[in-house]
Every structure is written in C-alpha cells, then in structure tokens.
Amino acid sequence: MTKSTELRARQTAAVPAGVSSKGIYVARAENSELWDVDGRRFIDFAAGIAVLNTGHRHPRVMEAVAQQAALFAHTCFHVASYESYIRLAERLNAVAPGDFAKKTLFLNSGAEAVENAIKIARIHTKRSAVIAFSGGFHGRTLLTMGLTGKVMPYKRGFGPFPAEIYHAEFPHAYHGVSTEQALADLDRLFHGDVDPTAVAAIIIEPVQGEGGFNVAPAEFLRALRQLCDEHGIVLIADEVQGGIARTGKMFSIEHSGVVPDLITVAKGLGGGFPLSGVIGRASIMDSAHPGGLGGTYGGNPIGIAAAHAVLDVIDAEDLFARATRVGQRMRSRLEALASDLPGIGDVRGIGSMIAFELVKDRKTKEPDAALTASILAQAEQRGLILLSCGVSANVVRLLAPLTIQDAVLEEGLDILAASLYAASGREAARAVA
Ligand SMILES: Cc1ncc(COP(=O)(O)O)c(C=O)c1O
C-alpha cells in the first residue's frame, strides 16, 4: 500500500464525501512543481485553482510572511490596526481601473468578497435585486451559490437560495449566444421579471472561470456599463479567478476598457495565503455604516504581507508580459493539437487563462465529459496536474503559475499532448510542435 492510498482511506473515513479531492497528497512544492508523499513529481497546471500566479513558495512571498510572523500574526484589524493593511488598500486603489477615488476592504475568501460587494451595492442603492449570469461561479456560501449559474456540483440539494437573484444569458460565441442575444435576454429580464430600478447590482466574471473560460466580449461589457449607468445599478467585476495578472493585466476587465464600480479579488492576491478584497468607488464603498463591514480575520497581517510581495513580484518579474507569453505558447500547442484531434472543439481564453473544450462531434458540439475525465486521469498518471471546468464538465483549463520556467512549461505541454492522444485512443500521428 502506498502512502497515498493509505491517506485516501483515512480521508474517506475522516473527511466528508462532499469535500472531493484528486487523491494527490503533497509533501512539498516549488514554483510550478509538486512532489507527493510517495516521491512522485507533478507539474502543476492547476496552481491551487488560479491562486499561485507567483508559483509555489515564491522566495519573496515566503520572506515577507516570515518577517511578518516574527512581528505579529493576528490582532484583528478592528481591534489593533496595522499600516500594511492601509498600504495594500492604497496600492490596489491605485492600480484598479477608474479615474476616481477608490477604497478597499479586505476579507478572507472569494465568496466573502462577493458577499460583501453585494452588501455594499445593496446599502448604496437601497435596492435588493442582483443579476448574475448563466455559467457564472461566485462561491459556495448561500448567497454566492445563489448567484452561481452552474447546478452541479455547486447547487444541487443545497437550496433554497436567497431571494431576488436573477440570471441572464452569458454571451458565448462558440455555443451560438451572441452579444445581441445576451442583451436581448437582459431586456427580457427587465420586462418580464425584475424592474431595473429595483436592481442593486449586476455581477459578472469578465472571463468566466468555473463556467469554462468564456470571455465576455468587450461590446457586451460596454453595454452592461451603459445599462448600469442608465438605471443606477452597481457594476461588479468578479476578478477572483481572472485577476492579479492571470490574463496579462492586473484585472481581466481591463482588456475591454470598461470600468466597473466594484471589483472582487482573492486567489492570486495572497500568493497562497488566504486573502480577498473588494476594491471600488469610494462613494459606493463608504455607503455602509461603521461596523457594517469586516470580520475577525479579514485582512490578516500574514496574508497582507504576502500580497505586498505578490504585487512586488508581478512588477519585478513583469508577470503581465509573462502571462501573455505563457498563454501564447499554450494556445499555439493546443491549436496544433486541435488540427489533429477532432475531439478538441474550441481553444479559448486570454493571457494565461487558456482552456479547450472537448466534444463528441464538432458540428453538434455535444459535450464529451468522459474524454475530459480521461485526459485528466492520463495526465495525472504521467505527472501533470490539470483541472476541468465548464457547465457540462467538458473543458480542460490550463492555469500554470505565471512564473513557470520555459523547460517545465514545455515538458507539461508534452505530457498534455501525450495524454490527449492516449485518452483519444490515438497514436501521436506526428510531432505536434
Ligand atoms: C470567479 C470566482 N468568484 C468567487 C470564487 C469563490 O472563491 P473562494 O473559493 O475563495 O470562496 C471563485 C472560486 O473559484 C471564483 O472563481
């Protein structure tokens, strides 16, 4: 019995089945590589689900954390405040899009950031309704599950969800939903279901993460901005997965030039330490009364110290450019593979947020979840960690650390190619460069 199988048995006995995991038990990790308890090496194309944009244990992050731990680990910002929290707010206010005064609040998780963004939008507008999108994912708390537009595994059996949440169609060119159709769906919502003057917020992931790396067209985001301005609605960009340099810009919405009112961040911000935040227009952020926002651990000093180092690393190592280069390499390898493997129906994404969709037939686009699962299994056997996504679980997403070394990236892509051929029951017909 390997140590991994032993741990699997202990997990099954001690941890609820709802907490699913791949069965990889880590012993240590460095940048884009991870070694398990049995000494197996893995290349990490998951990055802890888009958290480790600066890689596992980036030396600058580790040093910042150690220095902070030597001073104080927790006081609760509401009890004894610290300069590093204020300075991180200042830094994020400065880099977030928008030529207006901004403020930032820190929390622990992505879901908590989304919950707080909705609270702020509601108290500011004195309205209650919220519009989210099909295929969107915003977290696992009751409100954020309600906002999420993907039933399995997130919503089934966990309702009822909070009231006053409406879902509109997310534009998806590959699946035939144009910007015009998505806007017509919003119009339908405004006429059939909810008066726009009752809507506090529209929340959107500019690049959907769990929903399948679907990129919202710039013209759609511009139209949302216009609708929000027209009806006094707060536009929230959920940048929990797409933010912090992942797409080649600090926030994925910057590709469209659209300026949201509020931005939620988490994952990559803490470089592996739990930290999230809401950044936004000062006039909106200041709507809540003192004591209305916050929490015991929100903006924990260790997470804040790590985030300062993450922002320093993005700057020092030019991770915006690196995200673009790594993504280009992934995309060109995938496009070459798609020319040989008909199961790959679509390759999409921006920067280093790249995914491919697996279909049984390129014409009908019938999802192939079984092939997707088989690719993940083949990759894992060969030492590559991959994640799936998509409402029909038929999309493979590539989320390597932006700091991945070229040689490790190429090795990972070679394993990906071999896994694709093996799962498709095909020999590699030719070298796919
Ligand atoms: C876009 C988006 N929002 C919110 C969340 C929830 O974040 P967390 O798991 O930290 O609560 C996620 C997590 O994957 C996400 O991708």
| pLDDT confidence tier of residue 228, bands split at 50, 70 and 90 | very high
Q: What is the DSSP track for 31-45? A: BTEEEETTS-EEEES
Residue 18, φ and ψ in degrees, nearest 5? -65, -20
Q: Which residues contact 235 (CB under 8 A, 6 or more apart)?
A: 201, 202, 204, 224, 225, 228, 258, 260, 261, 262
b/e map of 80-99 (b: 16 or more CB within 10 Å)? eebebbeebbeebbeebbee
**Which of the four pLDDT bands, split at 50, 70 and 90, describes residue 427?**
confident
Q: What is the pLDDT of residue 152?
A: 86
Instruction: Identify the residue whose tokens are 């006039």.
Output: 283
3-state per-residue secondary structure call for 282-336:
HHHHCCCCCCCCCCCCCCCHHHHHHHHHHHHHHHHCCHHHHHHHHHHHHHHHHHH
Nearest to 170 by CA among 208, 139, 115: 208
- Cα distance between residue 257 and residue 265, in whole Å: 18
Q: Which region, left, alpha or beta, applies to residue 47 given φ > 0 means left and ψ of -120 to 50 means alpha?
A: left
pLDDT tens string 96-144: 999 999 999 999 999 999 999 999 999 999 999 999 999 999 999 999 9
Question: 106 with 89: CB under 8 angstroms?
Answer: yes
- Give me the mean pLDDT over the 54-64 stretch: 98
- DSSP string across 63-98: HHHHHHHTT-S---TTTS--HHHHHHHHHHHHHSS-
Whether a cis peptide bond, with omega within 30° of 0, leads into 160 is yes
By CB atoms closer than 10 A (0-12, 13-18, 19+), residue 18 is exposed
- Residue pair 383/396 in contact (Cβ under 8 Å)? The answer is no
In this prediction, residue 321 carries a pLDDT of: 98
Confidence of residue 323 (pLDDT cuts 50, 70, 90): very high
| pLDDT tens digits, 9-32 | 999 999 999 999 999 999 999 999
Indicate the pLDDT class of residue 431, thresholds 50, 70 and 90: very low
Does residue 238 have its Cβ closer than 6 Å to ligand 1?
A: yes
Closest by CA to 109, choosing from 274, 229, 294, is: 274
- Ligand 1 proximity of 210 Cβ (cutoff 6 Å): yes
- Taking alpha carbons only, the member of 343, 413, 306 closest to residue 62 is 306
Candidate from 146-150, 151-155, 234-238, 422-426 with smallest mean pLDDT: 151-155
Which one, of 375, 373, 385, lies nearest residue 42 by Cα? 385
The confidence score (pLDDT) of residue 426 equals 85
Q: Would you state the structure tokens that stand for residue 87, as one six-digit string? A: 């300075």
CB of 368 closer than 6 angstroms to any ligand 1 atom: no
Rounded Cα distance, 401 and 314, in Å: 12
357 touches ligand 1 (CB under 6 Å) = no
Query: How far is residue 186's CA from residue 184's CA, in Å, rounded to a whole number?
Result: 5
Q: How many helices (H) and strands (E) does the chain have?
A: 13, 15
d(CA 314, CA 285) in angstroms, rounded, equals 26
**Which token pair is 224?**
């949302």
SS3 24: coil
Mutate which of 49, 148, 204, 240 for ligand 1 pocket (most atoms within 8 A of beta carbon) = 240
Atom of ligand 1 nearest to the CA of 239: 1
Q: How confident is the model at residue 429 (pLDDT cuts 50, 70, 90)?
A: low
Q: Of all helices (H) and strands (E), which one includes residue 143?
A: helix 142-147
Residue 275 CA to ligand 1 centre (angstroms): 12
- The structure tokens listed for 363 are 């014409």
Express as a percent the part of the chain with pLDDT over 90.
97
Residue 118 Cβ inside 6 Å of ligand 1? The answer reads no
Contact at 8 Å (CB) between 239 and 201? no
240 CA → ligand 1 middle, Å? 6
Segment 200-207 shows an average pLDDT of 98
With a 6 Å cutoff on the Cβ, whether 266 touches ligand 1 is yes
Bridge partner list, 387: 397
The distance in angstroms from the start CA to the end CA of the chain is 39
Residue for token pair 């799936």: 388
Mean pLDDT over the full length of the chain: 97
Position 182 pLDDT exceeds 50? yes
Model pTM score = 0.97
Strand order in the sheet with 129-133: 102-107, 276-281, 262-265, 234-238, 199-204, 129-133, 165-168
For residue range 350-373, what is the model confidence (pLDDT) as tens digits? 999 999 999 999 999 999 999 999
Distance CA 349, CA 319 (A): 17
Distance (Å) from CA 138 to ligand 1 centroid: 5
pLDDT score at 231:
98
Task: Reply yes or no on whether the pLDDT at 433 is more than 70.
Answer: no
- Going from the Cα of 153 to the center of ligand 1, the distance in angstroms, rounded, reads 14
CA–centroid distance, 238 to ligand 1, in Å, is 9
Look at residue 7 and give its three-state secondary structure: helix
